[in-house]
Every structure is written in C-alpha cells, then in structure tokens.
Structure 1
C-alpha cells in the first residue's frame, strides 16, 4: 500500500476537525503530474521554458502554503495543550491538597477526581496524536519532494527538507516538553487515585478508549507502526 492510501486510512481514523490540517498530498501529487505532462509536451525554447518555470514556481508556492498551514496548526494546538495542562495541574494540586481518605471524601470530591482523570487522559491522547501529526506530515513532504525530483528533474529536495526540519510543525521542542510533562503528571495522578478508585477509574478509562480523542491517537500510532514495519523506506523519518 502506497503512502497516499496510508494517509487516507489515517484520515478516516483521526479527529474530524483535524482532517483538513494534514498535508494535501493528493493535490501536490496532481500538481507534479501536471508539470511533468507540460514538460514532456513543450518544445525546447526560451518562451516555453518561461512557461514551465511559472508552473514550477507555482508548485513551490503551493508547497510553502502547505507548510504555513502545518505550522499554524501545530503552534495553535501546542499552545492550547499547554494552557489545558497548566489548568489541569492546578486542579490536580487542589485535589492533592484536599486529599484525605476515600471514606471521608464527598461524592463531589470523588467526581472531581474522576473528571480530572478523564481530562488528563484526553489531553495525553491529543498530544500523542499531535506528535504523530508531525511525523506523518514530514513523511508526506519528504515523499512529495522525491516525486518532484524524480518526475520533474528539479533539484530542490535536500535544501527544502533541511529547511522544513527547522519548521514548527516538525522541530517543536515545546511540544516534546508538554508531552513529557503530561506523561509524568498522568503517571503520578494514577498512582495517587487508583488505590482508592479502582472501579470508578477503570470504568472511566474504558469509556475513554471508546471516545474520539484517545481512540484516534491509538489508531494513528497503530497505522504508523504498521506502515513502518511493512515499508522500511519510512524508517529514516
């Protein structure tokens, strides 16, 4: 199965509101085919070369627009996840400060514990999905540039990939810090509450697995792992 099919499979599984923010792989691929067809039809000459150059510049502009789209989405989501994590940290700290024993906790306090756990799991799942988003889009970009080089015989791939590696959608230390912090908080939170709320938390996690964020993040990881296992060409991502 080629990358286009893998990407289509991923988009079926991911959050509906995320689908338009992935790289427009099919559109870029069609544009390459158009340039290839024009290049094979034109007669060598200065005027024809100018005509062809216009299409090639148009392709690069389209590629730049795609990168802008990826960067904006990554930056927006990273900021949103950071804000949510900080708010969750405050909620959990309040829970810890009021933490006594299950026998004396009110039903409201127990509900707050379960709700905080649910929100934390959702955030962790979304961060996994966001990290996965980075890998998928970089893979798509790299493959598009290889197609462009192979079919149009225009050398721009290595320089463009080097530049893309520095873009926020891929080189995002801020996101990695948020993921690490969220993972640590989730582990500490579970150690704190699970001994008291095994049944309640177990039911909550079961429901989360069936919900969109966590389910989408797990599906994205499974698809990426399967694609990598089948085609070793993706291992250099």
Structure 2
C-alpha cells in the first residue's frame, strides 16, 4: 500500500481530530508533479537522458539549483509551510502536556490526602498516556512523509537543494522526542504510584 493511502487510513482510524495538522502529502506530490525535470528538452518536449551525478557534486548541484522555477519555488514554500505547521502543533501539544501532567499529579496528591477512589484519575492518566504515544506516532508519520517527498523531489530534479532543509528538520521538536519520553516516564511513575501503593 502506498504511503499516501497509509497516511490517510492512519489519520482516519486513530487521529481524526488532528487531520488538518498532518503533512499535506497528496498536495505536495501534485505540486512536485508540476515541476519539469532539469534534463527535460523544451524543444522536443521529451526528456533527455538524465545526467549522472557523483556524490561529491552535492554542493555544486545546490549552487546550480538556486534559480528555481515558479513551480519548484511553490513546492519548496508549501513544504516549509507544512514543516512549520507540524512543528508548531508539536510545540503546542508538548506545552499542553506539561500543564496537563501537573494537573493530574495535583489530583493524585489531593486523592492520596483524602483516601478517595482513584479509578477516574487512573483513567485520565491512561488516556493522557495514550495521547502522548499518539503524538509520538504523529511525529514519525510526518517525518516519514517529509523524507519521502524530499526523496521524490531529489529523484525528479536531481537537486540536493533540500538537504539543508532536512538537516533543520532533524533538529526540531517533532523529531526530538526527549520531552515526550520524559513526560511518558513521569506519567507511568504516577500510575505505578496509584496502582501499587507502598
């Protein structure tokens, strides 16, 4: 099954409320298809033989490809917009999760002081844990989409122009999962505290 279909199925089944926050993979593919390969012969309207490139020609290719067509500029801008959207969504969710964990821990402290029933707080912690795991999956799906579309761009244009873009992606919150893993561990510790009292 193709990535685009997998992405749509995953969103529909598991994350319908986040649908607008995912990479616009289908639209990016359409934009990419509008870009004519640089080895396309305008006179005969047929593709010329694609030039071979050595891996050490990366920088030369990047310099040569600074003059993009309008279609390629549009594609790159759409890719950047999607990247910013994904990153902003992850930042917002992580900030929300930090506050939510604090609220849940406060509820646990009140509950322990009163000796009340912990069932609802346990459910809330489990739901919270599930949502954080889904955010991890969200990051993986979007990274996979970005990698695939950049690979398609490179294959179509022979350009390494998006390599610096991907280096930037690898340093962003939706790729770096340290905070989420820390929150997951703290949530699990709070659950253990409730389920296995000393």
Q: State the TM-score bracket (shorter-chain normalisation).
A: 0.7 to 0.9
Cα drift, residue 78 of structure 1: 0.8
Find out whether 1:155 has 2:160 as its counterpart. Answer: yes
**1:118–1:59 Cα change, 3 Å:** same
Structure 1: distance between partners of 2:121 and 2:111? 9
1:117 aligned to which of 109, 114, 122: 122
Classify the secondary structure of the residue corresponding to 1:23.
coil
State the partner residue of 1:23.
Answer: 23
Deviations 1:82-112 (A, max 9, x none): 111100001101212233xxxxxxxxx32xx
Indicate the SS of the match to 1:169.
coil
Which of residues 163, 166, 169 is equivalent to 2:171?
Answer: 166
**Residue 82 (str. 1) matches residue 98 (str. 2):** yes
Q: More helix per residue: 1 or 2? A: 1
Shift of 1:172: 4.0
Q: Aligned pair in 2 of structure 1 residues 119, 39: CA closer, same or farther (>3 Å)?
A: farther
1:68 aligned residue? 84
1:39–1:52 contact (8 Å) kept in structure 2: no
When residues 178 and 50 of structure 1 are mapped into structure 2, their CA distance, relative to the original with a 3 A threshold, is closer
* Compared CA separation, residues 143 and 189, structure 1 to 2 (3 A): same
What is the alpha-carbon distance in structure 2 between the residues aligned to residue 130 and residue 124 of structure 1?
10
Q: Taking structure 1 as reference, are residues 43 and 173 closer, same or farther at Cα in structure 2, changes over 3 Å only?
A: farther
- CA RMSD after TM alignment: 2.5
1:5 aligned onto 2:10: no
Query: How far apart are residue 190 of structure 1 and its match?
Result: 2.0
- In structure 2, distance between residues paired with 1:163 and 1:73: 17
Dislocated runs of 4+, deviation >6 Å: none
Aligned to 2:167, the other structure's residue is in SS state helix
Q: Which residue of 2 aligns with 1:55?
A: 71
Query: Structure 1 residue aligned with 2:183, among 178, 184, 195?
Result: 178
Matched, 1:97 2:97: no
- Give runs of aligned pairs for residues 126-145 of structure 1, distance below 5 A: 126-145=131-150
